Copies of this chain bind each other. A is one copy, B any other.
């Protein structure tokens, strides 16, 4: 093995060549390359068989033989392409290449018909890449940076382009998001220092925010659109006004790092950094969307077996009556149909009375969705799952917290605060992971009619 490890000079130039060729391939050619890779440079099945048999027959021959046989078996199970990935990782820019390669693999997987015979091989390739990247993208290699208006334009442009939760509308908007009363944190990686891998936007506020508009002030932005007029004088932060840190957006930017969790670490380090500056802050919370709530509601409504009427799952009798009074005066269409229609068009918000009537049932249904809908025992909603796993609790639902079209379409305008009680996160996290226990506040449980006795679901 001295020899193999050492042919580095010529291997390096060959590897570089391969990478530069791959980068110029078209989408379909890339797929062909990946297929070729898994079929010809994966695991040699017959060699594995041979080694497995050897191993089984070595059992009687003492520890040393057994370990040797295990070693051989392990070797035979290692796909050839892992050696190639090792060489690529050693190149400058190689790690980024592998991140992007995995993006291509994931895309190929999503395009493959599942019964294709090659699917398991591509899945194995995906797993190999994920395991490798997960070793490289561990917290020890990540660097926390605070991004401000003094950061590079290049970094700020990327921050802006990657912001998916609440899109940035102009450079004036962007300046506000990294300015006073805001903390924008990123993780960068030593192998691609100019790339923000995860981005966390934080607002420093007097209390836990109930609406995204209070943080991302759209009215204000219009003034800023005239980019090249001098922007207003910098506001100076007054520490006396800062009692809460509200995480209002967290984004992972690299599709190729799917499944490699870095957000948790970023939140932890952000909390540390905020505490170092403001030791007395005690309120840590998110202001999060509830993606999927409206779709879930539409689906549930459409499959309700009681037809035109609505089961008590959706509305109490009283609520039903009030809504019917309001909606059906001059209208033959059923309450259910009308709700379905208005949900689809987001028009219920225009009618203030209607909106008021919907508040209680929608908030209750959203609480149901977050608290009772499960996948493998854990919260179905991925945002809820992420924060519960980190040890947060579901603390409060906020009505009309995001009135943007995006907010209405994803969650009927409802947003949720996941609150981090620092001294409880470790135990919360453990109870959630081990026992699927969902920690929630009294006020939230109250929405579910569970307030006086602590949840024991």
Residues of A whose CB lies within 8 Å of any CB of B are 2-3, 5-10, 13, 43, 45, 48-49, 52-53, 55-56, 59, 63-64, 66-68, 70-71, 73-74, 77, 86, 89-95, 117, 119-121, 123-124, 127, 132, 134-136, 138-141, 143, 149-154, 156-157, 160-161, 167-171, 175, 190-191, 194, 227-228, 230-231, 259, 261, 264-265, 376, 378, 389-391, 425-426, 429-430, 433-434
Contact = CB atoms under 8 A, between A and B. Distances in A.
30 contacts: A3-B378, A3-B434, A6-B264, A6-B433, A9-B264, A9-B390, A9-B430, A10-B429, A43-B70, A45-B66, A53-B56, A64-B119, A70-B124, A73-B73, A73-B77, A77-B77, A86-B138, A89-B140, A90-B138, A90-B265, A93-B140, A136-B136, A150-B154, A153-B171, A157-B171, A157-B231, A160-B227, A160-B228, A167-B228, A171-B227
A197 to B, nearest CB: 14
A139 B127 CA distance: 24
B430 A10 contact: yes
Nearest to A97: B140
Please provide the 7 A-B residue pairs with the shortest distance between their CB atoms, ordered closest to farther: A190-B190, A90-B138, A9-B429, A67-B120, A52-B52, A150-B152, A6-B389
Contacts of A160: 227-228
A157 B127 CA distance: 44
Contacts of A67: 120-121, 123-124
Contacts of A77: 70, 73-74, 77
B149 A152 contact: yes
A225 to B, nearest CB: 10
Given A89-B135, A92-B139, A140-B92, A55 B48 contact: yes
Nearest to A96: B140
A139 B8 CA distance: 11
A426 B10 CA distance: 6
Contacts of A169: 228
A203 B333 CA distance: 68
- Which of A71, A160, A169, A434 has the most chain B CB atoms inside 10 A of its CB? A71
A339 B170 CA distance: 44
